[in-house]
Amino acid sequence: MKNTAIKNETVEKLKGVINAENTLSSCCERLSHLIKNGRIKDQFRMLSATAQLNEKLLIGRLSHLGVDTFMVGEKCKSCRVNPDSFSLLGAINLGIEITGIAIKFYRDLYAMSTQEEKKLFTKLLKEKIQQRDALKKERRFDHKNKENFIDQYCFSQIIPRLSEKL
C-alpha cells in the first residue's frame, strides 16, 4: 500500500515537472523570437533546448513507472505575446518563475527517489538552479520596471496551472 502511494505521488510530481519543462520549452522558444538582445536570445534558445531534452528524459522515467499515456498540457500553444506587448523584463521574470516551479518539483522528486534516481534529480536540480540564477543576473541589468502583457496574462493564467500539483 505504501509503495503504491509513493509511486502515485512520484507519478504526479513527474507529470508536474514535465508540464513545467514543456511550458519552459515552448515559452522560451516563442520569446526568443521576440528578443532583440543576441546574448539573451541565445540564452532563451538554450533554455528551450534543455527543457525539451529534460521533458523527453522525464517522460522516459514516467514510462519506466508504467505510465504510457500522458498528454502534456498545451498551455502556451496559442501564445498571445506579440512584439507590441513584449517586454524583456517580463520574459526574464517568467523564465525565473517557471524554473522556480521546476526546482520545487525536482526537490520533491529527489526526496522521494531511490539512490539511483537521486543522481538524475540532483543533476536536473543543479541545472535548473543555474538557469534561474543566470536569469536573475540578467534581470539586474534590465532597469525597466513597467507592467506588461506577460505580467498580466502569463503570471495570472499559466503559472497557477503549473503550480497546482506542488
* Cβ contacts of 90 within 8 Å, gap of 6 or more: 148, 149, 150, 151, 154
* Cβ contacts of 14 within 8 Å, gap of 6 or more: 58, 61, 62, 65, 109
Q: What is the pLDDT of residues 43-68, one digit of tens each?
A: 999 999 999 999 999 999 998 888 88
- The predicted model gives 109-115 an average pLDDT of 89
Higher pLDDT among residues 166 and 115, named by residue: 115
Q: What backbone torsions phi and psi does residue 51 show, to the nearest 5 degrees? A: -65, -40
Under DSSP, the state recorded for 34 is T
* Range of lowest pLDDT (105-109, 124-128, 135-139): 135-139
pLDDT at 149 over 50: no
